[in-house]
């Protein structure tokens, strides 16, 4: 820091006149929720529109997939928990059978 800079640094700040301060602050726009809609509300609206369109496309397709996987008239609904228990049983038994494997052919 040179002498001039030291001189400037030593200068005390003066409080601006109250009326000037009030006038400047009054001219500044107040913060609002619109600040969050950067770069423009239109851009956010476009994004929202895309999400609505995605939902409109996806929901019927999902329902159609559900319908195609639906039960035929003579089918019966298979309870999920039962299938889980069943799968566990299946793997355990396969391992057990593998242990019971036959000795090499005679």
Using CB under 8 A, list all residues that contact another protein.
31, 35-39, 43-44, 47, 50-51, 54, 57-58, 61, 65-66, 68-69, 71-72, 74-76, 78-80, 82-95, 97-98, 100-106
φ, ψ dihedrals at 26, nearest 5°: -65, -30
Alpha-carbon Rg for the chain, nearest whole angstrom, is 37
User: Please, what is the minimum distance in Å from the beta carbon of residue 15 to another protein?
Assistant: 22
Cα separation of 21 and 96, whole Å? 86
Minimum gap (Å) between residue 66 Cβ and another protein: 6
For residue 37, count other CB atoms closer than 10 A to its CB. Answer: 13
**Taking the complex as a whole, how short is the minimal distance between the CB of residue 13 and another protein, in angstroms?**
17
* Tokens describing residue 34: 């619109």
Query: Quick one: 23 or 94, whose CB is closer to another protein?
Result: 94
CB of 19 to another protein, least distance (A): 28
- By beta-carbon proximity to another protein, the closer residue of 13 and 36 is 36
CA dist 24 and 19 (Å) reads 9
């Amino acid at each position: 820091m040179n002498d001039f800079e030291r001189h400037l640094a030593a200068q005390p700040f003066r409080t601006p006149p109250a009326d000037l301060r009030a006038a400047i602050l009054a001219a500044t726009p107040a913060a609002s929720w619109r600040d969050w809609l950067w770069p423009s509300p239109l851009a956010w609206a476009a994004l929202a529109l895309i999400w609505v369109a995605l939902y409109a496309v996806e929901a019927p397709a999902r329902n159609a997939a559900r319908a195609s996987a639906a039960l035929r008239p003579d089918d019966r609904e298979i309870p999920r928990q039962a299938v889980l228990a069943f799968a566990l049983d299946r793997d355990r038994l396969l391992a057990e059978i593998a242990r019971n494997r036959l000795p090499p052919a005679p």
